Amino acid sequence: MMTVRFPNGQALQYNEALWLDYEHNGTWVLRKAKGGDCVAFIQASAGAIVEFRSPCRVSHPQVKDLQPQIDQLTKEIRSLKRKIQK
């Protein structure tokens, strides 16, 4: 897996990209394997950074785990509404 990060903060993840080639026309080629199929082209002049990483897992906490924080925020919002309406 490769992640391409651009100077503006945008990041693109390519799950199938495992090999990086540079062509003389100023283009980086992300490939599935050495000499394999092309996944994407990146202009070298774009100032992008290519990261090689193992796939990772991102999980979301269960809503029930966040319920105490949600309840507290709801109370604070109600309190602010009362203060604004006065």
pLDDT of residue 53: 72
- Distance from chain centroid for Cα 76: 32
74, 80, 81, 86: CA torsion to nearest 10 = 150
Tell me what pLDDT residue 75 has: 93
Q: Which sequence spans correspond to the domains of the chain?
A: 2-85
Q: What is the pLDDT of residues 22-73, one digit of tens each?
A: 988 889 999 999 999 999 999 888 888 888 876 665 556 566 677 888 889 9
Q: What is the DSSP letter of 3?
A: E
CB atoms within 10 A of CB 28: 18
Quick check: pTM over 0.75?
Answer: no
pLDDT for 67 equals 81
Calculate the alpha carbon distances from 77 to 65, 68, 72, 82, 86 in Å. Answer: 20, 14, 9, 9, 15
